Amino acid sequence: PELFLGSDLSGKALGIVGAGRIGSGVARRLAQGFGMKVNYYDIARSVALEAEVASEYYESLDELLRVSDVVSLHVPLLPETKHLINAERLAIMKSSAYLVNTARGPVIDEAALVAALKQKTIRGAALDVFENEPVLATDLATLENVIITPHIASASEETRGKMSELVGYNMNEFFLGHVPPHKVVVE
C-alpha cells in the first residue's frame, strides 16, 4: 500500500515564484484543475493573476516558501536569481514540501538541493533543468525523492511551433529596424 505513495494536490498551497505568463498559466491550471490555493511571489504584484485566480501576493519569498506545499519556479536567470533557492531557503520550507523547477537550472543551488533531499529537509523535487546542464550534481540522479526530465518542458508540437513563429516574428521586427519584443540579451 505504500508503493508509489504521494500526496493529493487538492486543497494544498501552491507557491508560484515568478508570476509572469508561464507562472500565471501554471497557477491557473493548478487552481482550476486541482483546487490548489495559489500564493505567489514576484517583483511586482500581478493584478491580472489575482483577477483570474483567487491568489495571494507575498512580498517576501521566504514567507511564501514557509507556507507552500508545492513551490514552482518561473523566474529568468539573472544575477539576482542565481541560487535564489539555496540551503537557507530550503531549510525554511515545509518538510512535506515539493520543489519544481522548469525555469532555469542555476536558480537552484543543486548541491544544497541534493543535501536537502538526502536529509529529508523537503519531501521531494521535480527538475526539468539543471545547474550545469547536461551534468547533474553528484548523487542527484540516485535519489528516490526526485523526478528528473531532460529539459523537455517545451516538447510538444504546438509549443515548438509557437517558438518558431516567435523567432520569425522577432527576426522580422529586427530587419524592419525595430527592437524585437522578445530579445535575448547575453552578457
Per-residue pLDDT of the chain (187 residues), as tens digits, is 877 778 899 999 999 999 999 999 999 999 999 999 999 999 999 999 999 999 999 999 999 999 999 999 999 999 999 999 999 999 999 999 999 999 999 999 999 999 999 999 999 999 999 999 989 999 999 999 999 998 787 778 898 888 899 999 999 999 999 998 877 665 5
Contact 55, 38 (CB under 8 A): yes
If DSSP codes are grouped into helix, strand and coil, which group holds residue 90?
helix
DSSP secondary structure code for residue 129 in this structure: S
- Cα 67–Cα 20–Cα 35 angle in degrees, nearest 5: 45
- HSE at residue 150, side-chain half, CA atoms within 13 A, is 2
C-alpha cell at 75: 523566474
Task: Enumerate the active-site residues.
Answer: 104, 133, 151
- HSE at residue 57, side-chain half, CA atoms within 13 A, is 12
Cβ contacts of residue 63 below 8 Å, gap of 6+? none
DSSP run (H or E) holding 22: helix 21-34
State how far the Cα of 114 lies from the Cα of 117, in Å rounded to an integer.
5
